[in-house]
Amino acid sequence: MIGEINSNLDIAMLVVFALVSLAILTALYRVFKGPTLGDRVVAVDLLGVLAVGFMALYSLVTGESVYLDAAIALALIAFLGTVAFARYYEIDNRRRKARNPGPGASP
């Protein structure tokens, strides 16, 4: 299992895991930094995609098929979350504009 290194390929897979972890941390930094809500959602969407890749890699090194199923389910959930957020953002924005239209708003 994970923890003991048996071949050069194991070292290569560890490098791959390090790279993916670095990518996830970088995306996480953008989630915290913002500056707008849309930036955070883009970063969370990327986090979801990267997590799918991470789980697929984990199923590769352990040989368990369960993690791949979980990865596909996570891809579905992340996509639905992104679409749901975008709808909410658009409707909320439309309501806010309707409440206090800016100068020169179209009639």
Partner 1 sequence: MTTSTGHPILDIIVVALALTGAFFMIVASVGVLRLPDLLLRMHAATKAGALGTGLVLVAVAVYFGEVGMTTRALAGVAFLILTAPVAAHVIGRASYASGVKLWKETRRDELAEYYSTHSPTLVPGSEVRQDPS
Binding site for partner 1 (CB under 8 A): 1-7, 9-10, 12-13, 15-16, 19-20, 22-24, 26-27, 29-30, 36, 38-39, 41-43, 45-46, 49-50, 52-53, 56-57, 59-62, 65, 68-69, 71-72, 75-76, 79, 82-83, 85-87, 89-90, 93-94, 97-98, 101-106
User: Cβ distance 49 to 78 under 8 Å?
Assistant: yes
What does the alpha-carbon distance between residue 63 and residue 57 come to, in Å, rounded to a whole number?
10
CB of residue 55 to partner 1, shortest distance in Å: 10
What does the alpha-carbon distance between residue 17 and residue 9 come to, in Å, rounded to a whole number?
12
User: Could you report how far apart the first and last alpha carbons of the chain are, in Å?
Assistant: 66
CB of residue 65 to partner 1, shortest distance in Å: 6
CB of residue 85 to partner 1, shortest distance in Å: 8
Q: What 8-state DSSP symbol labels residue 29? A: H
CB of residue 13 to partner 1, shortest distance in Å: 5
DSSP H stretches of helix in 34-101: 37-62, 66-99
